[in-house]
């Protein structure tokens, strides 16, 4: 009430001055004045995540907003007061290192504003906020000190009791101006301040780990929905399902220090796009029913946070749940994973590395198929090399989950690096579309498609013409890159809108949370845009037409094995025969019961269960920050003192005047 009254007084004063000067503008209400006084800033927050051991990420330290003057880190190398520090991208690592090593400096950090830093892409050192061996605890081999990601700083895996925001490019300029203004006006009576609203419910409730916050309802589990599809469709009603399965894997989720800026162009979305393009290329081949092996494609989510998708998939296979109906763990003959392939193009040559585990006939057969696929594309300058034998094992990948489940699993991971990541922005917001090359993605897709066809056909005498007919669609790859890695056109592209009605244009590949009971047929609002698009795309590309070709599925698809694609755009859709399903992706240590999530004890049948951190994300009411100008307390004190003085003098003057008037009247 007091704030509104003050705003009204200010508005009246401002309105009056403008009226007298003849400059009355459109500010006619309190909201208009507030817009003029407060500038809301575009930014991407670092939020609070929890696990069974504690917390990581960022949050206001208490229940209230945080307000502090804006200063530049370069200038304010020493902080004498609580400050909102503006940090450039090339200073981020040294800045957070200092926070950990200098408690006096850290105590004066009220908030951190990170500049957009697009110029960092051209610098040789790069920036990766993840660890040097990401998720080393899940590795099937004992080399936790190996550095797959040598430039990894690990800053995103620490906890900070202050808000941190990444600024947009336009907001960066605004904050730079504010910091410069504060530096110039050190002796002035005003300062530009940042007001942070990053109050986490876990902080308010004092729930400092996943188990306690799930019990109190102040957080939700990380998770989403993976998607798998078979080519050709599997006849689930048939008792004869003995074909060995070649499982081709990619991931759809990435991670970043900033929740809503997890793009992951090279790691892992380049592999996802290659998988989609390979499926598209294979879908145009005749005689798929005659293949001796069954092709199955799966795109996991939650892999950046404890391999949630792949672990839950194997768990559902053990249960033989509806989500994996048609699949059998014992039939998986080979796992081929498409990892980071977007940086494979260098000096006119596309070069990739095949990372393998041990020696087996299936692995050797896959390596030979890769060699044949490479030889069939000699004119394309593509080289497939086996990864260095001195590597400790396979790089961080979903295949690790399969190996922890069964050490005899045969598998190959296709990557654009040998011994260390070629991606200098691994799990960074800078791993965007400019960090990859479409030529490498196309080459990887063509190699994978031909390799899978060689493996699945069982025909060692395939003609060169048969293989040369299998090629990734360059236009499709470029369109997918624009849809999944950029805001323009982003998820508003024609390809995506042909299948779904996206909720936003800008793609973000953060895994998200599971708000309610998981299901193999989840409610529309619980599936994110990317999962829904992938389901529709794969169901369409791997399908055969329904017997009733004109069948619209507004009332559901009646025939067994049918699914409805393209339902969202027009509310009708088309029924096709396809084996495409959603698989919930969340911790195997969690159970949804009576409206709440319960943490289960480790299960002996789940070898990774003991290592499972059980990641959750804190709830919040609102997130944002704004800047405005405030007066220094000293000046406010002087104004108050001046006001009191004027009031006292006015009172004295009134008393004296009354006395004089009274005396004069008595004389009369």
340-366 per-residue burial string, b: 16 or more CB within 10 A, e: under 16: bbbbbbeeeebbbbbbbbeeeebbeeb
Residues 6+ apart with CB under 8 A from 340: 266, 267, 268, 270, 271, 415, 416, 417, 421, 422, 423
pLDDT for 403 equals: 94
Neighbours of 662 (CB within 10 A): 9
Dihedral angle, C-alpha 479, 483, 489, 494, nearest 10 °? 70
Cβ neighbourhood burial of 523 (10 Å; 0-12, 13-18, 19+): exposed
Give the separation between CA 648 and CA 257, rounded to whole angstroms.
57
pLDDT for 381 equals: 87
Give the separation between CA 412 and CA 364, rounded to whole angstroms.
10
Give the separation between CA 576 and CA 595, rounded to whole angstroms.
35
Question: Which residues of 174-281 form beta strands (DSSP E)?
Answer: 190-197, 219-221, 224-231, 245-251
Cα 292–chain centre separation? 38
Range in 152-156, 179-183, 511-515 the model is least confident about: 179-183
Per residue in 285-298, pLDDT (tens digit) is 988 988 999 999 99
Going by pLDDT thresholds of 50, 70 and 90, the confidence category of residue 452 is: very high
Range in 14-23, 181-190, 603-612 the model is least confident about: 14-23
Per residue in 290-347, pLDDT (tens digit) is 899 999 999 999 999 999 999 999 999 999 999 999 898 889 999 999 999 999 988 8
Give the separation between CA 128 and CA 257, rounded to whole angstroms.
9
SS3 586: coil
pLDDT for 6 equals: 41
Going by pLDDT thresholds of 50, 70 and 90, the confidence category of residue 556 is: confident
Q: What is the DSSP letter of 209?
A: S
Which pTM was predicted?
0.90
Name the phi and psi angles at 203, rounded to 5: -70, -45
């Amino acid at each position: 009430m007091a704030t509104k009254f003050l705003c009204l007084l200010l508005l009246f004063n401002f309105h009056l001055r403008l009226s007298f000067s003849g400059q009355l503008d459109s500010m006619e209400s309190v909201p208009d004045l507030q817009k003029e006084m407060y500038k809301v800033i575009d930014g991407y927050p670092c939020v609070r995540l929890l696990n069974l051991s504690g917390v990581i990420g960022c949050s206001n330290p208490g229940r209230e907003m945080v307000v502090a003057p804006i200063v530049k880190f370069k200038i304010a190398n020493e902080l004498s007061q609580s400050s909102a520090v503006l940090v450039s991208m090339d200073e981020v690592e040294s800045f957070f290192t200092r926070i950990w090593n200098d408690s006096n400096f850290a105590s004066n950090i009220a908030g951190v504003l990170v500049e957009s830093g697009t110029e960092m892409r051209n610098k040789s050192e790069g920036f990766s906020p993840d660890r040097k061996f990401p998720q080393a605890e899940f590795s099937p081999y004992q080399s936790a000190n190996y550095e797959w990601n040598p430039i990894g700083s690990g800053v995103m895996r620490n906890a900070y009791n202050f808000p941190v925001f990444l600024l947009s490019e336009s907001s960066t300029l605004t904050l730079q101006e504010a910091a410069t203004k504060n530096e110039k006006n050190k002796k002035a009576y005003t300062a530009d301040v940042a007001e942070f609203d990053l109050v986490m419910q876990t902080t308010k409730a004092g729930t400092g780990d996943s188990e306690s916050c799930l019990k109190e309802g102040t957080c939700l589990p990380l998770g989403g929905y993976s998607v798998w599809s078979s080519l050709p469709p599997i006849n689930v009603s048939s008792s004869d399902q003995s074909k060995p399965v070649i499982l081709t894997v990619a991931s759809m989720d990435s991670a970043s220090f900033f929740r809503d800026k997890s793009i992951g162009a090279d790691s892992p979305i380049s592999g996802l796009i290659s998988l989609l393009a390979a499926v598209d290329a294979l879908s145009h081949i005749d005689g798929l029913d005659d293949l001796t092996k069954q092709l199955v494609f799966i795109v996991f989510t939650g892999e950046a946070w404890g391999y949630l998708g792949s672990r839950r998939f194997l768990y559902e296979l053990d249960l033989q749940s509806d989500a994996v109906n048609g699949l059998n763990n014992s039939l998986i003959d080979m796992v081929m994973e498409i990892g980071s392939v977007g940086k494979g193009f260098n000096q006119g040559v596309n070069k990739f590395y095949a990372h393998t585990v041990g020696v087996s006939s299936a692995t050797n057969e896959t390596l030979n198929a890769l060699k044949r696929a490479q030889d069939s594309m000699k004119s394309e300058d593509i080289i497939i090399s086996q990864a260095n034998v001195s590597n400790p094992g396979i790089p961080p990948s979903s295949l690790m989950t399969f190996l922890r489940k069964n050490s005899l699993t045969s598998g190959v991971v296709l990557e654009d690096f040998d011994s260390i990541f070629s991606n200098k922005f691994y799990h960074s917001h800078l791993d965007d579309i400019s960090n990859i090359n479409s030529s490498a993605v196309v080459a990887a897709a063509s190699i994978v498609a031909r390799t899978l066809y060689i493996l699945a056909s069982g025909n060692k005498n395939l003609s060169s013409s048969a293989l040369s007919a299998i090629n990734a669609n360059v236009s499709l790859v470029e369109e997918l890159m624009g849809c999944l890695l950029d805001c323009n056109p982003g998820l508003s592209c024609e390809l995506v809108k042909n299948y779904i009605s996206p909720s936003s244009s800008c793609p973000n590949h953060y895994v998200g949370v599971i708000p309610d009971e998981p299901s193999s047929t989840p409610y529309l609002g619980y599936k994110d845009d990317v999962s829904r698009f992938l389901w529709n795309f794969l169901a369409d590309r791997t399908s055969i037409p329904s017997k009733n070709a004109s069948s619209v599925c507004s009332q559901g698809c009646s025939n067994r094995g049918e699914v409805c694609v393209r339902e969202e755009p027009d509310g009708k859709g088309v029924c096709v025969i396809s084996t495409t399903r959603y698989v919930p992706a969340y911790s195997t240590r969690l159970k949804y019961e009576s409206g709440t999530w319960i943490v289960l004890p480790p299960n002996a049948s789940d070898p990774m269960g003991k290592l499972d951190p059980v990641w959750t994300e804190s709830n919040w009411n609102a997130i944002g920050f704004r800047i405005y100008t405030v007066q220094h307390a000293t000046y406010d004190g002087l104004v108050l003192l001046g006001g009191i003085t004027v009031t006292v003098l006015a009172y004295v003057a009134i008393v004296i005047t009354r006395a004089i008037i009274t005396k004069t009247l008595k004389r009369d």
